Each structure stands twice: as C-alpha cells, then as structure tokens.
Amino acid sequence: MDLQDHIKIALREETLLKVTSKSDIPKTNMFKGFDVSSFKNQDPPKNNSEQTNKEIKYLKSIKLNDKFFKDKDNILDNFVDFLEEKELKYNRKLLKKLINDSKYIILLLKEHYKRPRPFKLDKTFKDPSLKSTTGYSYPSGHSTQSNLLRLVLSKLFPKYKKDFNKIADDIMYSRQMAKAHYPSDIKFGEKLAKALYDYIIDNDLIKNNLNETKFFHRRVNPEEVARNFKLFASETFFDTENYEQFKYELVLKSLEHIMWQEYNMGWEDLPEQQEIDYVNKIAEMYKDVIFPMYLYYYNR
C-alpha cells in the first residue's frame, strides 16, 4: 500500500474503532481485567501551559529524519528484526497479541484525555500523515507498546536487555522527532507499559509449555470457529494488509478466542507447521464466508 492507502484506512479506522469504556474491550483481550481507573486521573499539561510550551520548544530542536521515523513506525518489525538477527526462538503470535490487546487500553485513555498532537497544536509542525499519527496524543501508543515488548522480551531473553532498551528508546525518540508526541506522552506511556507488564506477570498470562497442536486437532470444531468470525472481522481487517493475511488471521483469532474463553489456554509457543496447516484448512473451508466479510470492510 502507498501512503494515501494508509491514510484512507487510518481515517476509516478512526471512525470504526472507538474505545470509550471498558465495555468496548473484547472479552478475549488479555487486559480485560486491568484496572485503568488510576490512569484516568493523571492529566497531561494543559495546551497553553508553560510545560507544554517547553515541550514544543524541545520538539522544535529535533531535526526530522524521515527515513528514521518511518523505519521505527512498525513496533513489531523492529523487535522481530533483532530477534531473527540473533536467531532467537520467539513467539510472534504473543508479541502481536500484546500489541493488539494493549491498543484498547491506550485508545481508552486517549479518548479520555483527548490531548491534541503537537502538530495539531503548533501549526509550524508538519503533519507526518501516517496511520499511526491519527487520533489523540496522550498516552503515546508507541511508547506504551514498545516498552511493553521491551519488558516482556527482557524477561524472556535477559542477555539482550540493553538491546531491547535501545530499540524502545529509538521508537520513542522517533515519535518526538515526527512531532507526533510530547515528552510527557512518552513518559505516561512508559508508566502505563510497566503497569500492563506487572498485570501480565501477576496473572500469569504468559503460559509455558502449551501444546496447541493437540488442542487444535482434538478440541476445536471448525463450525465453532466459524461462529466467531463476526467478532473479529473488523479488528482483523485493520490489522492486515491483504485478503490472504485477513483470511488467516481471522481464523487464528477465532481459534484463540475459543482457547482463551473456554479453556483458559495461553499463547506461548510458535505455531508448528501442523497448526498453520490446520488454520489454512479452516480458512479454505469457509472462504465463501470470509471473502464477503473482507469485501464489506474493503468497500467501506
């Protein structure tokens, strides 16, 4: 997709994905039980305050490197590139779920505070016009999600803690470079990430030694999976870039819904080839159901 396509999708997503209360968070979201109330009384600096003026002055001192900013825009890819470079066995599915599920908490707080982004407040700043720079500013989603992944991966691979810190630091700096976030947005995101991480650890939401292959084949009826498609069609459309990705991820999300909701099973291991084949098999079985769903959102 080119930049205009990203902007078009972003505008559609802004109108469709609104999180104004905890009731908007899906039951399968791992942060459904997270107590967000304490984060609703930590107001950002006012738009006309001395603190905001100081923050805008700081942002003006940062020279924009367009390539650096765009390279750091995709949080997952930045961490995955490092993990693959080091040939570490990691769970991409878990990392994606951390990002996707934390998004609801972030959007809930953004909607609560409604803080305009720096380039909205100061017209001398250029709007970077990326999908990730729509919406409100506080807290920074990139700060929250990159620090959440940093903390989880540092626990799993403590040897590379400094490297994960550097990846998160670069992502946070890029958001300020692009005038998409104030420093206070970044700090609030770091604080939120730590609380989300503590919630994961305290509730043992990262399960170990889960044999999902046996679960998929022995305990899941394809018809049961298909009944969940409508629950995840909108979310999946905006998280994927083409029909093939949409088809696979929709089936996978529907399977995971059953795993978590009915059996309280987690997400630790990477899918084995048999599991990937099983997801593709269900996707092919129900392609006449899935494709119209894709067209519905594509044409909106």
In a domain, 99, yes or no: yes
User: What pLDDT is recorded for position 209?
Assistant: 31
Q: With 90 as the cut, is the pLDDT of residue 162 above it?
A: yes
User: What pLDDT is recorded for position 7?
Assistant: 38
* Pair 156, 53 in one domain: yes
> What is the tens place of the pLDDT at every residue in 101-136?
999 999 999 999 999 888 887 777 765 544 445 678
Q: How many domains does the chain have?
A: 2
Per the model's pLDDT, the better-predicted residue between 126 and 61 turns out to be 61
Average pLDDT over residues 189-197: 96
In a domain, 220, yes or no: yes
Domain boundary among 183, 202, 221: 202
* Pair 239, 194 in one domain: no
CA distance 190 to 173: 13
* Pair 71, 171 in one domain: yes
Report the predicted TM-score, pTM, of the whole model to 2 decimal places: 0.67
Altogether, the residues listed in the chain come to a count of 300
* Pair 139, 268 in one domain: no
User: What pLDDT is recorded for position 223?
Assistant: 86
Would you place residue 1 in the very low, low, confident or very high pLDDT band (cuts 50, 70, 90)?
very low
Mean pLDDT, rounded, of the chain: 81
In a domain, 50, yes or no: yes
Q: Is the four-CA dihedral 152, 153, 158, 163 of positive or negative sign?
A: negative
CA distance 136 to 106: 10
* Pair 88, 190 in one domain: yes
Q: With 60 as the cut, is the pLDDT of residue 211 above it?
A: no
Domain containing 269 equals 212-298
* Pair 249, 162 in one domain: no
In a domain, 207, yes or no: no
* Pair 7, 126 in one domain: yes
Average pLDDT over residues 264-289: 71
* Pair 231, 166 in one domain: no
Domain boundary among 202, 227, 246: 202
* Pair 194, 216 in one domain: no
The answer to whether the beta carbons of residues 205 and 52 sit under 8 Å apart is no
* Pair 288, 262 in one domain: yes
Q: Residue 82 sits in a domain of what CATH number?
A: 1.20.144
User: What pLDDT is recorded for position 272?
Assistant: 59
* Pair 272, 171 in one domain: no
Give the angle subtended at the CA of 242 by the CAs of 181 and 94, to the nearest 5°: 60
Would you place residue 34 in the very low, low, confident or very high pLDDT band (cuts 50, 70, 90)?
very high
The answer to whether the beta carbons of residues 34 and 105 sit under 8 Å apart is yes
In a domain, 43, yes or no: yes
Would you place residue 261 in the very low, low, confident or very high pLDDT band (cuts 50, 70, 90)?
low
Domain boundary among 202, 224, 246: 202
In a domain, 22, yes or no: yes
CA distance 211 to 275: 10
Average pLDDT over residues 161-174: 94
* Pair 99, 198 in one domain: yes
For 105-114, 186-195, 221-230, 262-271, which range has the lowest pLDDT when averaged over its residues? 262-271
CA dist list (Å): 161 to 24, 67, 84, 125: 34, 25, 16, 34
